[in-house]
Structure 1
Amino acid sequence: MVREIHQAAIRDFGGSDGIRENALLESAVAAPQATFGGKAIYASLSEIAAAYLYYLCKNHPFLDGNKRTALGACLVFLRLNGVETKPDGPQWEQLVLDVAASRIDREETTKRLAKVLA
């Protein structure tokens, strides 16, 4: 599904289509689903959504459109789990830019996402 989100982002907003490193994509998609001792590492919807946003943005698996794809995956995950959002406010853009610029870590990404969703 992430690949389809990326293709839609490139189609709608431009950029080069393609995967820069498949292992980085696989890692970014697997991270939100990770378990330890049989328990999910990321348990809440906001933690999982933030993990998709963070790892897709930071791993930079695509040639272009990594930030757009990261936000898209986060939003699709939320929508599939019954959380409707309006990602048109400046807080969404700032959240993604802060992740991309390494101004916030994954835990802070989760906190900020939870505030945006509140």
Structure 2
Amino acid sequence: MSDETLYDRLGGETAIGAVVEEFYDRVLADERVAHHFSETDMADQRAHQTAFLSAVTGGPMRYDGDEMGVAHEGMGITATEFDAVATHLDDALAEFDVDDADREAVIAEVASYRNEIVENA
């Protein structure tokens, strides 16, 4: 049995960075969620997301950002918006031919932060 991490199976930082680029292209084209990024430095956001996904998939990078609840506090993110963003991530992973099991693992990791990100209305 291989001890290869999800990070390794995804192709490492460079491949994750490419997925993040595709992901944010999709998010920014979606009027349901793009407004959350209207005042965001997207170069920083893309780098930050690459580090986050690299860290949570078992890569060597350390995530130094705020805790999810703090980072998303006051943004008013709804369950519908969270789901839309998760779908964009899944679609971006599929665009790079990530297999179903690994896509599900990434989405499950992201979904574990749902309660910290979604605000009750």
**Fold similarity call, TM over 0.5:** no
Instruction: State the structure with more CA Rg.
Output: 2
TM-score scaled by structure 2?
Answer: 0.35
Higher relative contact order (CA 8 A, sep 6+): 2
TM-score scaled by structure 1?
Answer: 0.36
